[in-house]
Structures are given as structure tokens and as C-alpha cells.
Amino acid sequence: MSNSMFDVIQEDIDKLNEGLIEAVSSPVDLVTEIGTHLVTAGGKRIRPALCLLAAHGGPDYSLSRLLPLAEALELIHTASLVHDDVIDEADTRRGSITANAKWDNQVAILSGDYIFARAFGLIADGDYGNYVSKRLADLVCNLSVGEIIQNHTVYHAVKDLDNYYNRIQKKTADFLEICCELGAYVGGFGKEDVRRMAEYGHCIGMAFQITDDLLDILQTSEKIGKPAGNDIRQGIVTLPVIHALNVSEEAGELEKIVTDPAMTDEMVARALSIVKATDGVEIAKAKVEEYLDRAREVLPGNLAPEIREAFVMVADFIGDRDF
Ligand code: FPP
Ligand code: MG
Ligand code: MG
């Protein structure tokens, strides 16, 4: 994401980065080394930035009070990616080597656990109350359940769009929703403003993931740094593929490919061309616009102009990602 949308809180993000390094340091040097590698490996800090922005201008706003929460959100995200890279046997993330590739799976799993526990330590120290703890616990439950369901249904070609929306909500949208919601909540905004910020987070999360899934279908491998059609290859069906499975005359052939764990590169290319011949891509793009329009519209009316502008820029950025 372009940094300009977070310019307004850049100094806060610098402080957050220092806090993250401190949070992962341990009396055991190896733990510090792994933790530092993970929190400095190029994250965009979208989640903590949303949390800090959402808190701005609230009656209880205080950066020192907000930072541990924002750091915990980034640490939970980092821990989930460390575990995800073990599950997906990934060697690189954001251009850096993953913990499982640099060390091994055991080290990666345990480092993820360590970072995850540090996050909850920050939350306990912050004394944010039961509501914040409960929302974060629910978030991690949803992330885990989403991952379990996904791994259970790979190569199944579930043709139901609700299943897709449910999956991306658990995987991405719930997280961005909670960042916005808890930022506004701890900042001291009233119920209706907190609800609006939560809905904004949900909408940009849904739009972000649908766009990500579209990029996997439309972009060339050079551009995304991984082969196009990667989701299909991994047995994961996304919106345009599900649409094609429902409407394409070649749906039978497509289904045979996407349910075959041994599919070849040629089969992936054929699947992509069947999908692109339908209007699934257009439907997905329209859905992204729908979510982004709602995101801009639902922002609370009383935000400071520069904060509103930052939130609108985030929505614009998601809409402008080129295919
Ligand atoms: C990326 O998905 C990963 C996730 C959405 C979260 C995975 C969640 C867990 C492994 C459980 C949570 C555990 C803890 C400790 C919080 P992806 O593989 O589709 O995308 P990628 O291209 O970024 O790898
Ligand atoms: Mg992965
Ligand atoms: Mg994964």
C-alpha cells in the first residue's frame, strides 16, 4: 500500500515499529533474532494504522494508550502469517525468507506461538477491559476456523458464493473490522461511531480480499511475484471461478481441473481461460466497487478532515490496484 495514506500518522508508526522490536525481544537470543526478522520483514502495518487512525480525535485518545493495542494487532497478524507459511510450505513472504525456510517448521511454529502470546501480554498490560480481549479472542478463533475450513475443502470446488464470502470474511475482513472497531472504541467514540468504523473495516476488508483474488487470476506471474492461478493450483476457488462453475458451458471441464490435486500448468492455464471467458471478473470488480462505495459512505460524519481523507485514500487505493 502506498505510504501516503498513512502520512498523517507516520510518526506514530515509527514509534509502533520501535515498540514491535521491543515486544519480540527475549532473554533468549535466538528468539529475539527470529522475532526481529519477522517484524522487520516488510509489513505494511495496515492493521495498526487503521486502529490508530480510528482512535484519532476520540475523547479518550492517547497515543501511549493506543500503541500497545496497535502493536498487538500487528503481532497477531504476524503470528498468523508465520503459521500460515508453515501450512503453505512458503519460502518467501514480502520478498523476505520465511521463518520455516530460514530455520525450520518447529522453530516457526514456536516463534508464532511466542509472538502471539506477546500480543496478549500487551493487551493485558493495556488493561483495555473484557470487551477488547473478547473481540481479539473471537478474531483468532475465526482466523483459525477459517483456515481449518479452507484446508478441509481444498480441491472441493464448493459452488456456493456464500461459502466464499464467509471464507474471506473470516480470513481478512473480520481482522480489518476489529482494527477499526477497537481503535474507535479505545479512543472513546460513542456506540454509533464505533459501529460505523467497524462496518468501514469490514467493507474495505471484503474489497481488499476480492481484489487480491482477482489479481491472482488476472496478473502475470512477474507482476505478483508468484505464478498466476496460484489459488486454483492450491485447490482454492475464488469468486470468478465459482461464478464460472455455475454459469460456464465448460463448467464440467473447469470442475474436473479445479478438483484435481495433480493438475498441470496447462490445466491451470485452461481453467483460467474458461474463467476469463465468463463475466465473473466483471462481477467481482463490481462487487469491489460496491463494498468501497459503502465504506466511504459509512464513515462517521464527525471525523477530522485529515483522518477522513486517510480513510478515503485507503478505499481509493484498493479500488485503484491495477490488474
Ligand atoms: C494468509 O492466507 C493467512 C491467513 C489469512 C491467516 C491464517 C491463520 C492461521 C494460520 C491461524 C491463526 C493463528 C494465530 C497464532 C493467530 P493465504 O495463505 O491465503 O495468503 P498468503 O498469500 O498471504 O500466504
Ligand atoms: Mg499462505
Ligand atoms: Mg494459507
Of 81, 109, 166, the one to substitute when testing ligand 1's pocket (max ligand atoms within 8 A of C-beta) is: 81
The predicted pLDDT at position 236 comes to: 96
Burial class of residue 119, CB neighbours in 10 A (0-12, 13-18, 19+): buried
Structural domains for the chain: 1-127 (1.10.600.10), 130-323 (1.10.600.10)
Digit-coded pLDDT (tens) for 269-298: 999 999 999 999 999 999 999 999 999 999
Amino acid at 205: G
Within 6 A (CB) of ligand 1 lie 76, 79-81, 83-84, 87-88, 90, 112, 116, 140, 143-144, 147, 171
Average pLDDT over residues 263-267: 96
CA distances from 118 to 72, 112, 138, 141 (A): 8, 10, 17, 17
The predicted pLDDT at position 5 comes to: 83
Instruction: Indicate the pTM of the whole model.
Output: 0.94
Of 76, 100, 147, 176, the one to substitute when testing ligand 1's pocket (max ligand atoms within 8 A of C-beta) is: 147
Distance of CA 270 to the CA centre of its chain: 29
CA-wise closest residue to 3 among 292, 317, 303: 317
8 A C-beta contact, residue 113 and residue 79 = yes
Q: What's the rounded Cα separation, in Å, for the pair 228 and 68?
A: 38
8 A C-beta contact, residue 66 and residue 51 = yes
* Terminal CA-CA length for the chain: 15
The region, left, alpha or beta by phi > 0 then psi within -120 to 50, assigned to residue 4 is alpha
Handedness of CA 287, 291, 292, 294 (dihedral sign): positive
The predicted pLDDT at position 10 comes to: 94
Closest Cα to atom 8 of ligand 1: 80
8 A C-beta contact, residue 127 and residue 64 = no
CA-226 nearest atom, ligand 1 = 22
- Model confidence at 2: pLDDT above 60: no
CA-79 nearest atom, ligand 1 = 15
CA of 210 to the centre of ligand 3 (A): 15
Considering the chain, what percentage of its residues have pLDDT values greater than 70? 97
The upper half-sphere exposure of residue 160, i.e. CA atoms within 13 Å in the direction of its Cβ, equals: 6
Q: What are phi and psi of 97, to 5 degrees?
A: -70, 140
CA-85 nearest atom, ligand 1 = 24
Question: Which cell numbers hold the place of 180?
Answer: 477499526
Digit-coded pLDDT (tens) for 104-117: 999 999 999 999 99
The predicted pLDDT at position 43 comes to: 83
Ligand lying closest to the C-alpha of residue 231: 1
Residues whose CB falls within 8 Å of the CB of residue 277, separated by 6 or more in sequence, listed in order: 244, 248, 250
Return the beta strands (E) in the chain as ranges.
92-93, 96-97
Digit-coded pLDDT (tens) for 212-254: 999 999 987 666 566 689 999 999 999 999 999 999 999 999 9
CA of 303 to the centre of ligand 2 (A): 35
Q: What's the rounded Cα separation, in Å, for the pair 248 and 9?
A: 47
Digit-coded pLDDT (tens) for 185-219: 999 999 999 999 999 999 999 999 999 999 999 98
Average pLDDT over residues 69-87: 96
Average pLDDT of every residue of the chain: 94
**DSSP structure class, residue 93:** E
CA distances from 117 to 80, 87, 98 (A): 12, 20, 20
Average pLDDT over residues 131-136: 97
Task: Scan for cell 474436473, then name that residue.
Answer: 256
Q: What's the rounded Cα separation, in Å, for the pair 231 and 195?
A: 33
Amino acid at 134: K
